[in-house]
Chains A and B, each alone.
Chain A
Protein backbone atom coordinates (compact mmCIF):
# COMPACT_ATOMS: atom_id res chain seq x y z
CA UNK A 1 0.00 0.00 0.00
CA UNK A 2 1.38 3.38 -0.92
CA UNK A 3 1.85 6.23 1.51
CA UNK A 4 -0.88 8.21 -0.14
CA UNK A 5 -3.48 5.52 0.29
CA UNK A 6 -2.64 5.24 4.00
CA UNK A 7 -3.47 8.91 4.41
CA UNK A 8 -7.08 8.47 3.34
CA UNK A 9 -9.37 9.01 6.31
CA UNK A 10 -12.74 8.48 4.69
CA UNK A 11 -14.18 6.79 1.62
CA UNK A 12 -17.21 7.80 -0.38
CA UNK A 13 -18.65 5.52 -3.04
CA UNK A 14 -20.75 7.44 -5.57
CA UNK A 15 -20.52 4.89 -8.36
CA UNK A 16 -23.58 5.15 -10.58
CA UNK A 17 -24.60 8.52 -9.09
CA UNK A 18 -25.20 11.34 -11.51
CA UNK A 19 -24.65 15.06 -11.04
CA UNK A 20 -25.13 16.80 -8.75
CA UNK A 21 -25.00 13.89 -6.26
CA UNK A 22 -21.23 13.19 -6.25
CA UNK A 23 -20.50 16.79 -5.26
CA UNK A 24 -23.50 17.08 -2.92
CA UNK A 25 -22.45 13.96 -1.01
CA UNK A 26 -18.74 14.79 -1.04
CA UNK A 27 -19.59 18.21 0.38
CA UNK A 28 -21.62 16.60 3.20
CA UNK A 29 -18.73 14.22 3.99
CA UNK A 30 -16.18 17.02 4.08
CA UNK A 31 -18.34 18.93 6.55
CA UNK A 32 -18.15 15.94 8.92
CA UNK A 33 -14.35 15.69 8.65
CA UNK A 34 -11.65 17.36 10.73
CA UNK A 35 -9.35 19.88 9.08
CA UNK A 36 -6.46 18.00 7.43
CA UNK A 37 -8.38 14.78 6.82
CA UNK A 38 -8.58 13.28 3.34
CA UNK A 39 -11.65 11.90 1.59
CA UNK A 40 -11.38 9.43 -1.28
CA UNK A 41 -14.36 9.63 -3.66
CA UNK A 42 -14.98 6.86 -6.20
CA UNK A 43 -17.21 7.96 -9.09
CA UNK A 44 -18.23 6.58 -12.48
CA UNK A 45 -19.35 9.84 -14.06
CA UNK A 46 -16.59 11.20 -16.33
CA UNK A 47 -18.01 14.70 -15.82
CA UNK A 48 -16.94 14.43 -12.17
CA UNK A 49 -13.30 15.13 -13.12
CA UNK A 50 -13.91 18.72 -14.17
CA UNK A 51 -16.73 19.17 -11.67
CA UNK A 52 -14.46 18.41 -8.69
CA UNK A 53 -11.78 20.70 -10.10
CA UNK A 54 -14.31 23.51 -10.44
CA UNK A 55 -15.98 22.86 -7.10
CA UNK A 56 -12.78 23.09 -5.02
CA UNK A 57 -12.12 26.51 -6.56
CA UNK A 58 -15.54 27.65 -5.37
CA UNK A 59 -15.53 25.93 -1.96
CA UNK A 60 -13.33 27.64 0.60
CA UNK A 61 -12.66 24.71 2.90
CA UNK A 62 -11.40 21.95 0.61
CA UNK A 63 -8.53 21.22 -1.77
CA UNK A 64 -8.12 18.57 -4.45
CA UNK A 65 -5.08 16.45 -3.59
CA UNK A 66 -5.20 14.43 -6.79
CA UNK A 67 -7.41 12.65 -9.31
CA UNK A 68 -6.95 9.17 -10.79
CA UNK A 69 -8.60 7.06 -13.45
CA UNK A 70 -8.68 3.29 -13.29
CA UNK A 71 -10.73 0.42 -14.69
CA UNK A 72 -12.31 -2.04 -12.27
CA UNK A 73 -12.61 -5.83 -12.64
CA UNK A 74 -15.87 -5.43 -14.61
CA UNK A 75 -14.30 -3.09 -17.13
CA UNK A 76 -16.02 -0.06 -15.58
CA UNK A 77 -13.99 3.13 -15.73
CA UNK A 78 -13.61 4.75 -12.31
CA UNK A 79 -12.75 8.37 -11.53
CA UNK A 80 -11.15 8.73 -8.10
CA UNK A 81 -10.87 12.08 -6.37
CA UNK A 82 -8.85 12.79 -3.20
CA UNK A 83 -10.08 15.81 -1.25
CA UNK A 84 -8.53 17.37 1.86
CA UNK A 85 -10.41 19.59 4.26
CA UNK A 86 -8.28 22.70 4.76
CA UNK A 87 -10.48 24.95 6.89
Chain B
Protein backbone atom coordinates (compact mmCIF):
# COMPACT_ATOMS: atom_id res chain seq x y z
CA UNK B 1 0.00 0.00 0.00
CA UNK B 2 1.44 3.37 -0.92
CA UNK B 3 2.11 5.99 1.70
CA UNK B 4 -0.43 8.31 0.11
CA UNK B 5 -3.36 5.93 0.30
CA UNK B 6 -2.59 5.08 3.94
CA UNK B 7 -2.47 8.76 4.70
CA UNK B 8 -5.83 9.28 3.02
CA UNK B 9 -7.31 6.59 5.21
CA UNK B 10 -5.84 8.33 8.20
CA UNK B 11 -7.81 11.51 7.55
CA UNK B 12 -10.72 12.66 9.62
CA UNK B 13 -13.07 15.35 8.33
CA UNK B 14 -14.23 18.26 10.54
CA UNK B 15 -17.72 16.69 10.50
CA UNK B 16 -16.25 13.40 11.84
CA UNK B 17 -14.44 15.28 14.59
CA UNK B 18 -17.57 17.22 15.52
CA UNK B 19 -19.50 13.97 15.82
CA UNK B 20 -16.81 12.43 18.04
CA UNK B 21 -16.82 15.53 20.25
CA UNK B 22 -20.62 15.63 20.51
CA UNK B 23 -20.82 11.95 21.39
CA UNK B 24 -18.19 12.32 24.06
CA UNK B 25 -15.98 9.61 22.57
CA UNK B 26 -12.69 8.90 24.33
CA UNK B 27 -9.68 10.11 22.42
CA UNK B 28 -6.66 12.33 22.83
CA UNK B 29 -6.76 15.50 20.80
CA UNK B 30 -3.12 16.06 19.98
CA UNK B 31 -2.56 19.62 18.83
CA UNK B 32 0.89 19.91 17.22
CA UNK B 33 0.84 23.67 16.54
CA UNK B 34 3.25 25.99 18.28
CA UNK B 35 2.32 27.01 21.81
CA UNK B 36 1.35 30.56 20.84
CA UNK B 37 -1.23 29.51 18.24
CA UNK B 38 -2.54 26.79 20.54
CA UNK B 39 -2.99 29.31 23.34
CA UNK B 40 -4.99 31.62 21.07
CA UNK B 41 -7.42 29.07 19.61
CA UNK B 42 -8.28 25.46 20.37
CA UNK B 43 -10.81 22.81 19.45
CA UNK B 44 -13.40 22.52 22.20
CA UNK B 45 -16.01 19.87 22.88
CA UNK B 46 -19.25 19.67 24.81
CA UNK B 47 -17.85 16.92 26.98
CA UNK B 48 -14.40 16.94 28.47
CA UNK B 49 -11.70 15.97 26.01
CA UNK B 50 -8.05 15.25 26.72
CA UNK B 51 -6.22 17.95 24.82
CA UNK B 52 -2.46 17.79 24.52
CA UNK B 53 -0.25 20.43 22.91
CA UNK B 54 3.06 19.03 21.70
CA UNK B 55 4.43 21.13 18.82
CA UNK B 56 5.47 19.05 15.80
CA UNK B 57 9.06 20.24 15.99
CA UNK B 58 9.37 18.48 19.33
CA UNK B 59 8.55 15.23 17.51
CA UNK B 60 11.25 16.19 15.03
CA UNK B 61 13.97 17.03 17.55
CA UNK B 62 13.26 14.53 20.31
CA UNK B 63 10.70 12.03 19.03
CA UNK B 64 10.94 9.49 21.86
CA UNK B 65 10.54 12.12 24.57
CA UNK B 66 7.54 13.64 22.79
CA UNK B 67 5.90 10.29 22.09
CA UNK B 68 6.24 9.29 25.75
CA UNK B 69 3.82 12.10 26.59
CA UNK B 70 1.06 10.75 24.31
CA UNK B 71 -1.27 8.29 26.12
CA UNK B 72 -1.61 4.87 24.50
CA UNK B 73 -5.01 4.17 26.12
CA UNK B 74 -7.12 5.97 23.50
CA UNK B 75 -6.98 6.79 19.81
CA UNK B 76 -5.22 10.00 18.88
CA UNK B 77 -6.66 12.73 16.68
CA UNK B 78 -3.84 14.98 15.52
CA UNK B 79 -4.46 18.55 14.49
CA UNK B 80 -2.35 21.48 13.32
CA UNK B 81 -2.89 24.75 11.45
CA UNK B 82 -3.54 23.32 7.97
CA UNK B 83 -3.20 19.57 8.36
CA UNK B 84 0.37 19.09 7.08
CA UNK B 85 2.35 18.83 10.28
CA UNK B 86 -0.24 16.71 12.04
CA UNK B 87 -0.34 14.33 9.02
CA UNK B 88 3.43 14.05 9.32
CA UNK B 89 3.27 13.30 13.06
CA UNK B 90 0.58 10.64 12.47
CA UNK B 91 2.36 9.03 9.55
CA UNK B 92 6.02 9.24 10.51
CA UNK B 93 5.90 9.17 14.30
CA UNK B 94 2.73 7.76 15.85
CA UNK B 95 1.58 5.00 13.51
CA UNK B 96 5.01 3.37 13.18
CA UNK B 97 5.02 3.17 16.99
CA UNK B 98 1.71 1.35 17.09
CA UNK B 99 -0.63 4.24 17.89
CA UNK B 100 -4.16 4.31 16.54
CA UNK B 101 -3.83 7.83 15.18
CA UNK B 102 -5.77 9.86 12.66
CA UNK B 103 -5.17 13.29 11.19
CA UNK B 104 -7.75 16.08 11.01
CA UNK B 105 -7.83 16.91 7.31
CA UNK B 106 -7.18 20.59 6.67
CA UNK B 107 -6.39 21.32 10.32
CA UNK B 108 -7.72 24.35 12.17
CA UNK B 109 -8.24 26.11 8.83
CA UNK B 110 -10.84 23.50 7.82
CA UNK B 111 -12.27 23.33 11.34
CA UNK B 112 -12.76 27.10 11.24
CA UNK B 113 -14.89 26.82 8.08
CA UNK B 114 -17.02 23.92 9.23
CA UNK B 115 -20.74 24.44 9.84
CA UNK B 116 -23.15 21.97 11.42
CA UNK B 117 -26.82 22.49 10.48
CA UNK B 118 -29.50 21.19 12.87
CA UNK B 119 -33.26 21.37 12.58
CA UNK B 120 -35.05 22.88 15.57
CA UNK B 121 -37.75 20.30 16.37
CA UNK B 122 -40.08 22.63 18.27
CA UNK B 123 -40.46 24.98 15.28
CA UNK B 124 -42.27 22.31 13.28
CA UNK B 125 -44.81 22.31 11.77
CA UNK B 126 -45.01 26.13 11.67
CA UNK B 127 -41.49 26.55 10.28
CA UNK B 128 -38.47 24.49 9.47
CA UNK B 129 -35.68 26.31 11.24
CA UNK B 130 -32.07 25.29 10.84
CA UNK B 131 -29.47 26.50 13.26
CA UNK B 132 -26.06 26.46 11.61
CA UNK B 133 -23.39 26.10 14.23
CA UNK B 134 -19.84 27.18 13.45
CA UNK B 135 -18.22 25.28 16.31
CA UNK B 136 -14.71 26.68 15.96
CA UNK B 137 -15.80 30.28 16.37
CA UNK B 138 -18.96 30.01 18.44
CA UNK B 139 -21.16 31.59 15.77
CA UNK B 140 -24.78 30.62 15.09
CA UNK B 141 -26.57 31.36 11.81
CA UNK B 142 -30.17 30.63 10.83
CA UNK B 143 -32.22 29.53 7.86
CA UNK B 144 -35.98 29.71 8.41
CA UNK B 145 -38.09 27.90 5.84
CA UNK B 146 -41.76 28.83 5.66
CA UNK B 147 -44.84 28.59 3.45
CA UNK B 148 -46.29 25.52 1.71
CA UNK B 149 -43.84 22.62 1.91
CA UNK B 150 -41.29 24.97 3.48
CA UNK B 151 -40.09 26.06 0.06
CA UNK B 152 -39.39 29.71 0.86
CA UNK B 153 -36.77 30.79 3.34
CA UNK B 154 -35.20 33.73 5.08
CA UNK B 155 -31.57 33.72 6.17
CA UNK B 156 -30.49 35.43 9.37
CA UNK B 157 -26.85 36.44 9.91
CA UNK B 158 -25.46 34.46 6.95
CA UNK B 159 -21.79 33.50 7.27
CA UNK B 160 -19.02 34.34 4.82
CA UNK B 161 -18.82 30.70 3.72
CA UNK B 162 -22.04 30.65 1.74
CA UNK B 163 -21.75 27.00 0.75
CA UNK B 164 -23.13 26.11 4.16
CA UNK B 165 -26.34 28.01 3.31
CA UNK B 166 -26.50 27.21 -0.40
CA UNK B 167 -26.17 23.50 0.25
CA UNK B 168 -29.21 23.58 2.54
CA UNK B 169 -31.11 25.66 -0.01
CA UNK B 170 -30.32 23.16 -2.73
CA UNK B 171 -31.08 20.04 -0.70
CA UNK B 172 -34.47 21.38 0.37
CA UNK B 173 -35.34 23.33 -2.80
CA UNK B 174 -35.49 26.59 -0.86
CA UNK B 175 -36.07 29.88 -2.53
CA UNK B 176 -34.48 32.62 -0.42
CA UNK B 177 -36.80 35.60 -0.02
CA UNK B 178 -35.11 37.81 2.61
CA UNK B 179 -31.63 38.09 4.07
CA UNK B 180 -31.07 39.82 7.43
CA UNK B 181 -28.08 40.83 9.42
CA UNK B 182 -29.26 41.49 12.98
CA UNK B 183 -26.40 44.02 13.14
CA UNK B 184 -23.09 44.86 11.47
CA UNK B 185 -20.90 42.13 12.93
CA UNK B 186 -17.49 42.79 14.38
CA UNK B 187 -16.34 39.23 15.03
CA UNK B 188 -17.01 37.57 11.69
CA UNK B 189 -17.43 38.53 8.07
CA UNK B 190 -21.02 38.50 6.87
CA UNK B 191 -22.14 36.67 3.75
CA UNK B 192 -25.25 38.84 3.49
CA UNK B 193 -24.34 41.06 0.57
CA UNK B 194 -22.84 38.19 -1.44
CA UNK B 195 -25.89 36.01 -0.80
CA UNK B 196 -28.19 38.83 -1.92
CA UNK B 197 -26.20 39.19 -5.15
CA UNK B 198 -26.38 35.46 -5.75
CA UNK B 199 -30.08 34.96 -5.01
CA UNK B 200 -31.59 38.34 -5.87
CA UNK B 201 -33.18 38.45 -2.40
CA UNK B 202 -33.00 41.81 -0.58
CA UNK B 203 -30.40 42.23 2.15
CA UNK B 204 -31.60 44.05 5.28
CA UNK B 205 -29.61 45.95 7.89
CA UNK B 206 -30.54 48.69 10.34
CA UNK B 207 -29.25 52.03 8.94
CA UNK B 208 -27.53 52.98 12.21
CA UNK B 209 -25.18 50.06 11.61
CA UNK B 210 -24.39 51.28 8.11
CA UNK B 211 -22.00 53.85 9.57
CA UNK B 212 -18.68 52.61 10.90
CA UNK B 213 -18.71 53.66 14.57
CA UNK B 214 -14.99 54.43 14.78
CA UNK B 215 -14.21 55.61 11.25
CA UNK B 216 -17.55 57.46 11.07
CA UNK B 217 -17.80 56.56 7.40
CA UNK B 218 -20.94 55.42 5.56
CA UNK B 219 -21.47 51.93 4.12
CA UNK B 220 -20.81 51.35 0.44
CA UNK B 221 -22.79 48.10 0.32
CA UNK B 222 -26.29 47.83 -1.17
CA UNK B 223 -28.85 47.21 1.59
CA UNK B 224 -32.46 47.76 2.53
CA UNK B 225 -33.16 49.49 5.82
CA UNK B 226 -34.93 47.81 8.69
CA UNK B 227 -36.68 49.84 11.36
CA UNK B 228 -38.22 49.23 14.75
CA UNK B 229 -41.72 47.81 14.53
CA UNK B 230 -41.38 46.79 10.91
CA UNK B 231 -43.26 43.58 10.12
CA UNK B 232 -42.43 41.14 7.35
CA UNK B 233 -45.16 38.79 6.26
CA UNK B 234 -43.90 35.28 5.71
CA UNK B 235 -46.86 33.55 4.10
CA UNK B 236 -49.36 33.25 7.04
CA UNK B 237 -46.86 34.36 9.66
CA UNK B 238 -45.13 37.47 10.82
CA UNK B 239 -41.56 38.49 11.53
CA UNK B 240 -41.15 41.62 13.67
CA UNK B 241 -38.07 43.83 13.81
CA UNK B 242 -37.14 45.03 17.31
CA UNK B 243 -34.51 47.76 17.42
CA UNK B 244 -32.33 47.11 20.46
CA UNK B 245 -29.38 49.56 20.45
CA UNK B 246 -26.58 48.71 22.86
CA UNK B 247 -24.21 46.14 21.39
CA UNK B 248 -24.29 48.29 18.27
CA UNK B 249 -26.42 51.37 17.58
CA UNK B 250 -28.36 49.59 14.86
CA UNK B 251 -28.65 46.31 16.72
CA UNK B 252 -31.89 44.40 16.08
CA UNK B 253 -33.59 41.22 17.18
CA UNK B 254 -36.09 39.40 14.99
CA UNK B 255 -39.24 38.05 16.61
CA UNK B 256 -41.11 35.37 14.71
CA UNK B 257 -44.66 34.29 15.47
CA UNK B 258 -46.56 31.50 13.82
CA UNK B 259 -48.98 28.75 14.73
CA UNK B 260 -48.96 29.86 18.36
CA UNK B 261 -45.18 29.60 18.60
CA UNK B 262 -42.71 32.38 19.26
CA UNK B 263 -39.05 32.60 18.41
CA UNK B 264 -36.58 35.36 19.10
CA UNK B 265 -33.50 35.55 16.90
CA UNK B 266 -31.62 37.55 19.47
CA UNK B 267 -28.43 38.11 17.44
CA UNK B 268 -25.91 39.71 19.77
CA UNK B 269 -28.07 40.69 22.73
CA UNK B 270 -29.17 37.80 24.94
CA UNK B 271 -26.96 34.72 24.83
CA UNK B 272 -27.73 31.55 26.78
CA UNK B 273 -25.41 32.23 29.70
CA UNK B 274 -24.34 35.79 29.02
CA UNK B 275 -25.17 38.96 27.12
CA UNK B 276 -23.44 40.89 24.36
CA UNK B 277 -20.82 43.48 25.31
CA UNK B 278 -21.58 47.19 24.75
CA UNK B 279 -18.09 48.46 23.88
CA UNK B 280 -17.18 47.15 20.41
CA UNK B 281 -18.16 50.46 18.83
CA UNK B 282 -15.71 52.28 21.12
CA UNK B 283 -18.53 53.89 23.15
CA UNK B 284 -19.12 51.42 25.96
CA UNK B 285 -20.03 53.99 28.58
CA UNK B 286 -22.51 55.74 26.33
CA UNK B 287 -24.04 52.58 24.92
CA UNK B 288 -24.31 50.50 28.12
CA UNK B 289 -27.46 52.35 29.34
CA UNK B 290 -29.07 51.87 25.90
CA UNK B 291 -28.19 48.20 26.12
CA UNK B 292 -29.89 47.96 29.51
CA UNK B 293 -33.11 49.49 28.22
CA UNK B 294 -33.08 47.30 25.11
CA UNK B 295 -32.56 44.10 27.06
CA UNK B 296 -34.80 44.75 30.04
CA UNK B 297 -37.52 46.89 28.49
CA UNK B 298 -37.73 45.47 24.98
CA UNK B 299 -36.68 41.81 25.09
CA UNK B 300 -37.34 40.49 28.59
CA UNK B 301 -40.93 41.72 28.34
CA UNK B 302 -41.68 39.30 25.50
CA UNK B 303 -43.82 36.23 26.38
CA UNK B 304 -42.03 33.82 28.70
CA UNK B 305 -42.42 30.90 26.31
CA UNK B 306 -40.50 32.69 23.53
CA UNK B 307 -37.67 30.46 22.40
CA UNK B 308 -34.43 32.46 22.23
CA UNK B 309 -32.08 31.57 19.37
CA UNK B 310 -28.83 33.47 19.94
CA UNK B 311 -26.13 34.60 17.51
CA UNK B 312 -23.30 33.11 19.55
CA UNK B 313 -22.34 30.65 22.21
CA UNK B 314 -19.24 30.93 24.36
CA UNK B 315 -18.71 27.27 25.15
CA UNK B 316 -20.00 24.12 23.42
CA UNK B 317 -21.36 22.77 26.69
CA UNK B 318 -24.10 25.43 26.47
CA UNK B 319 -25.83 23.24 23.86
CA UNK B 320 -28.85 21.12 24.72
CA UNK B 321 -28.49 17.34 24.49
CA UNK B 322 -29.71 17.51 20.87
CA UNK B 323 -26.87 19.90 20.05
CA UNK B 324 -29.02 23.00 19.59
CA UNK B 325 -28.36 26.29 21.33
CA UNK B 326 -31.84 27.47 22.38
CA UNK B 327 -33.80 28.21 25.54
CA UNK B 328 -37.11 29.80 26.50
CA UNK B 329 -37.04 33.29 27.93
CA UNK B 330 -38.48 32.25 31.32
CA UNK B 331 -35.56 29.89 31.90
CA UNK B 332 -33.01 32.45 30.73
CA UNK B 333 -34.37 35.00 33.20
CA UNK B 334 -33.78 32.40 35.89
CA UNK B 335 -30.36 31.10 34.98
CA UNK B 336 -28.53 33.72 32.92
CA UNK B 337 -26.42 35.64 35.46
CA UNK B 338 -26.27 38.74 33.26
CA UNK B 339 -30.07 38.99 33.16
CA UNK B 340 -30.36 39.20 36.93
CA UNK B 341 -32.60 42.10 38.02
CA UNK B 342 -30.39 45.14 38.51
CA UNK B 343 -30.95 48.88 38.45
CA UNK B 344 -29.71 50.62 35.34
CA UNK B 345 -26.78 52.10 37.26
CA UNK B 346 -25.82 48.72 38.74
CA UNK B 347 -26.10 47.09 35.34
CA UNK B 348 -23.91 49.70 33.64
CA UNK B 349 -21.29 49.41 36.34
CA UNK B 350 -21.40 45.61 36.15
CA UNK B 351 -21.06 45.57 32.37
CA UNK B 352 -18.20 48.04 32.20
CA UNK B 353 -16.28 46.07 34.81
CA UNK B 354 -16.80 42.78 32.93
CA UNK B 355 -15.37 43.61 29.50
CA UNK B 356 -13.01 41.15 27.84
CA UNK B 357 -10.09 42.41 25.75
CA UNK B 358 -11.02 44.31 22.60
CA UNK B 359 -9.69 42.36 19.59
CA UNK B 360 -8.23 45.02 17.31
CA UNK B 361 -9.21 43.11 14.16
CA UNK B 362 -12.87 43.73 15.07
CA UNK B 363 -12.56 47.30 13.81
CA UNK B 364 -11.41 46.01 10.43
CA UNK B 365 -14.06 43.26 10.23
CA UNK B 366 -16.75 45.91 10.68
CA UNK B 367 -15.19 47.92 7.83
CA UNK B 368 -15.41 44.84 5.62
CA UNK B 369 -19.02 44.19 6.59
CA UNK B 370 -20.14 47.59 5.38
CA UNK B 371 -17.97 47.57 2.28
CA UNK B 372 -15.18 49.95 3.32
CA UNK B 373 -12.48 47.28 2.80
CA UNK B 374 -12.42 44.35 0.34
CA UNK B 375 -10.33 41.56 1.86
CA UNK B 376 -8.47 38.74 0.10
CA UNK B 377 -9.53 35.31 1.24
CA UNK B 378 -6.24 34.92 3.09
CA UNK B 379 -6.74 38.19 4.93
CA UNK B 380 -10.34 37.28 5.76
CA UNK B 381 -9.14 33.95 7.22
CA UNK B 382 -6.53 35.76 9.29
CA UNK B 383 -9.13 38.20 10.66
CA UNK B 384 -11.45 35.36 11.61
CA UNK B 385 -8.76 33.51 13.58
CA UNK B 386 -9.97 32.35 17.00
CA UNK B 387 -13.20 32.33 18.90
CA UNK B 388 -15.62 35.24 19.03
CA UNK B 389 -15.45 37.51 22.08
CA UNK B 390 -18.81 39.24 21.72
CA UNK B 391 -20.07 38.36 25.21
CA UNK B 392 -19.10 39.74 28.60
CA UNK B 393 -15.95 38.24 30.11
CA UNK B 394 -17.57 35.71 32.45
CA UNK B 395 -18.81 33.71 29.50
CA UNK B 396 -15.25 32.68 28.61
CA UNK B 397 -14.27 31.42 32.06
CA UNK B 398 -14.19 27.66 32.09
Specify which chain B residues have a CB less than 8 angstroms from the CB of A50 in the assembled complex: 34-37
Known contacts A47-B37, A54-B35, A58-B55; A19 and B81 CB within 8 A of each other: yes
Selected contact of A58 from candidates B33, B37, B61, B80, CB within 8 Å: B61
User: In the complex, A59→B382 CA distance in Å?
Assistant: 28
Selected contact of A47 from candidates B61, B81, B88, CB within 8 Å: B81
Determine how close the nearest CB of chain A comes to the CB of B381; give it in whole angstroms: 10
Proximity bits, B26-66, A CB within 8 Å = 1, else 0:
00000001111100000000000000000111101110000
- Using CB atoms, name the residue of chain B closest to A26: B57
- Using CB atoms, name the residue of chain A closest to B33: A47
Selected contact of B60 from candidates A18, A23, A60, CB within 8 Å: A23
Most chain A CB within 10 A, of B36, B57, B81, is at B57
User: In the complex, A20→B62 CA distance in Å?
Assistant: 15
Determine how close the nearest CB of chain B comes to the CB of A49; give it in whole angstroms: 9
Specify which chain A residues have a CB less than 8 angstroms from the CB of B60 in the assembled complex: 20, 23-24, 27, 55
User: In the complex, A23→B55 CA distance in Å?
Assistant: 12
Asked whether any CB of chain B lies closer than 8 Å to the CB of A11, the reply is no
**Do residues A55 and B382 form an inter-chain contact, with CB atoms below 8 A?**
no
Asked whether any CB of chain A lies closer than 8 Å to the CB of B85, the reply is yes
User: In the complex, A17→B56 CA distance in Å?
Assistant: 16
Known contacts A19-B85, A20-B85; A58 and B58 CB within 8 A of each other: yes
Asked whether any CB of chain B lies closer than 8 Å to the CB of A21, the reply is yes
User: In the complex, A73→B61 CA distance in Å?
Assistant: 35
Interface size on A, residues (CB 8 A): 17
Determine how close the nearest CB of chain A comes to the CB of B373; give it in whole angstroms: 16
Determine how close the nearest CB of chain A comes to the CB of B42; give it in whole angstroms: 15
**Do residues B57 and A54 form an inter-chain contact, with CB atoms below 8 A?**
yes
Asked whether any CB of chain B lies closer than 8 Å to the CB of A53, the reply is yes
Determine how close the nearest CB of chain B comes to the CB of A15; give it in whole angstroms: 15
Specify which chain B residues have a CB less than 8 angstroms from the CB of A51 in the assembled complex: 34, 55, 57
Determine how close the nearest CB of chain B comes to the CB of A1; give it in whole angstroms: 31
User: In the complex, A50→B37 CA distance in Å?
Assistant: 8
Specify which chain A residues have a CB less than 8 angstroms from the CB of B113 in the assembled complex: none
Known contacts A50-B34, A50-B37; A55 and B84 CB within 8 A of each other: no
Asked whether any CB of chain A lies closer than 8 Å to the CB of B293, the reply is no
User: In the complex, A60→B58 CA distance in Å?
Assistant: 11
**Do residues A18 and B82 form an inter-chain contact, with CB atoms below 8 A?**
yes
Known contacts A19-B80, A47-B81, A58-B62; A53 and B55 CB within 8 A of each other: no
- Interface of A (DSSP majority class): helix
Specify which chain B residues have a CB less than 8 angstroms from the CB of A47 in the assembled complex: 33-34, 37, 81-82
Asked whether any CB of chain B lies closer than 8 Å to the CB of A36, the reply is no
Specify which chain A residues have a CB less than 8 angstroms from the CB of B58 in the assembled complex: 58
Proximity bits, A53-77, B CB within 8 Å = 1, else 0:
1110011100000000000000000
Specify which chain B residues have a CB less than 8 angstroms from the CB of A55 in the assembled complex: 55, 57, 60-61
Specify which chain A residues have a CB less than 8 angstroms from the CB of B80 in the assembled complex: 19
User: In the complex, A20→B90 CA distance in Å?
Assistant: 12
Specify which chain B residues have a CB less than 8 angstroms from the CB of A54 in the assembled complex: 34-36, 55, 57
CB-based closest 10 A-B pairs = A55-B57, A54-B34, A19-B85, A20-B85, A50-B34, A18-B84, A50-B36, A19-B84, A58-B61, A47-B81
For this complex, 17 residue pairs linking A to B, each with C-beta atoms less than 8 Å apart, are A18-B82, A18-B84, A19-B56, A19-B81, A20-B60, A23-B57, A24-B60, A47-B82, A50-B34, A50-B35, A50-B36, A50-B37, A51-B57, A55-B60, A58-B57, A58-B61, A60-B61
